[in-house]
Structure 1
Amino acid sequence: MHRLVIEVDGQLLQLLEYEAKAHYLSLEGECLRRLQGAEAHSCYLQALLAELRADDEQRRASDRGELA
């Protein structure tokens, strides 16, 4: 299993914690629920997902020797 560590601002963390409680989920469960599209995507999570995808693509390109 891969582990992901992210930094979020305090306001977003409070929002995620509030929504997790409202849906009877853990903080991790709420993040997964949002990423899986169960709710309209938050602009914060969309930006995070785009950044993660770009980092992953850059890592793959580096592994293939495409970057100098």
Structure 2
Amino acid sequence: MPKLILEIETDLYRTLQEAARTNQLSLEDECLRRLEGGVRRSRYMEALLAELRAADAQRRAERD
């Protein structure tokens, strides 16, 4: 199985994880929520979301 390696700021990742848990969302959905709501819109968040989507699509393809 291919591996996905992301280099992200640890504090931001923890913040995103905690927000996702608090909002009962996946990490991808939390990123989407922030992007759609205009909360700290950044290239970093958009890149992270793209990586999460690609990893999710790959997992789905491997399952099917």
**Greater helix proportion:** 2
Shift of 1:41: 1.6
Relative contact order (C-alpha < 8 Å, sep 6+): which is higher? Answer: 2
Instruction: Say what the alpha-carbon RMSD is for the aligned residues.
Output: 2.5
Residues 47 and 33 (structure 1), Cα distance of their counterparts in 2 relative to 1, 3 Å cut: same
Q: Considering only CA atoms, is the larger Rg found in Structure 1 or Structure 2?
A: 1
Deviations 1:13-52 (A, max 9, x none): 0000000001000001100110111xx522xx4242688x
Q: Give structure 2 stretches of 5+ with no counterpart.
A: 48-64
Q: Give structure 1 stretches of 5+ with no counterpart.
A: 52-68
Aligned to 1:48: 44
Shift of 1:12: 0.3
Aligned to 2:14: 14
Aligned to 1:32: 32
Amino acid at match of 2:27: L
The alignment covers a number of residue pairs equal to: 43
Q: TM-score, normalising length from structure 1?
A: 0.50
Runs of 4+ with >4 A deviation:
none
